[in-house]
Amino acid sequence: MSPLKLPATLLHNQADACLAKWVAQLPPSLPPAVVLDASGVVEFDSSALALLLGLRRALTQKGSALQVQGMTPRLRELASLYGVMDLLQPA
């Protein structure tokens, strides 16, 4: 499975559709961890964290883990502010 990538813009009105698309495209058999590249996200709000947590939850239910790579300093700061950085530790 190729790494998932956060889009450059990820705001509230896009997050649900993005998550639904990713979950629908998950293959029946997953690797131990799915990699998500967060380095390209430039404009985002807290719904980006909701998307990451939702994806993490969906992967956990299927026996896989989420590995977030390339978290920008702003995204790290927001995750720390919301107290979810431990759940989204970068790989």
Eight-state DSSP code of residue 28: S
pTM of the model: 0.91
Q: Measuring CA to CA, how many Å separate 29 from each of 33, 59, 68, 77? A: 11, 11, 20, 33
Q: What is the mean pLDDT of residues 59-84?
A: 94
pLDDT in tens, 11-69: 999 999 999 999 999 988 999 999 999 999 999 999 999 999 999 999 999 999 999 99
Tell me the sheet residues that pair with 69: 37
Helix residue ranges, H only, the chain:
12-24, 47-61, 73-81
